[in-house]
Each structure stands twice: as structure tokens, then as C-alpha cells.
Amino acid sequence: MPKLQVFSKTKKENYGIRRHDSYNVIIPYTVVQDLNLRDGAILYSTLSEKTETIRLHTKPLKDSTPVKIRQRLTKVYKSERYYSSKVTIPIEFARLLHLKKNDDLGINSNKNTIIIKKIR
């Protein structure tokens, strides 16, 4: 099960200390292979508060927020490279769904969509 990772950065500015939060999710390798995603690819995220799901689409939709995929080399096995893909969830979505650090998330994929849902 992928877990929600929360990173907080503090930054000193002229008018005080400011805290910046970012919510990240690592997408499973099989989902990335199904959708043929690469580093720097842009997905478009939408939120459904009723079903408490976040959907990442490969094509832009009305009222969608662009999200960038970042990949990092995790291991090399028998001359095959494996990457982990990370997506930052928009902070408004995390606040509306009341997501917290280390929440378990279910990640599935359809034809052109990644579906992220909080597991209770």
C-alpha cells in the first residue's frame, strides 16, 4: 500500500517564518508501466469530494489542476533499470479530504486515468 508522505519546509522571510507543506504519493511501478509515463510528464488532477477520490488524467479537463511526475532511479537488476514515480497532490485536495501523514492510499489505473482513494 502506498502511503501519503508529508514534507514540511520552513523558510525565514523578512516578515517571519513561513512553513510550506507538500503532499507526495509514490505511484506503483505497474501503474506507471500501464500508462507509459515518463519523467516530467504532466497529469491533470481532479477531485471528487463525494466519493473522496483524486483522479489523475493524461489529458486536460475542465477545472483540472496540472501535476508533474518526477522519477528517480531506485535500482538496477540484471541490467534493467527500475524507477519510482512520485506525484505531488495539490494542497487544496489534501485539506478537503483531510489527508494526514502515513495515510494508506489505494492506487488503481483505468485506460487513461490514475485513481487515488484513501483507505479507511
Beta bridge partners of 33: none
Q: Distance of CA 103 to CAs 23, 66, 79, 99, Å?
A: 11, 23, 34, 7
pLDDT of residue 47: 92
Q: Where do the structural domains in the chain lie, given as residue ranges?
A: 5-118
pLDDT digit string (tens) for the chain, length 120 residues: 677 787 777 777 777 777 777 888 888 888 888 888 888 889 999 999 899 999 999 889 888 999 988 887 777 888 877 777 888 888 888 888 888 888 888 888 888 899 999 887
What pLDDT shows up at residue 53?
92
> Cα torsion for 7, 66, 108, 38, to the nearest 10°?
-90
Query: What is the structure's pLDDT at 44?
Result: 93
pLDDT at 45: 93
Q: Enter the pTM of the model.
A: 0.80
Predicted pLDDT of residue 1: 60
Contact 38, 44 (CB under 8 A): no
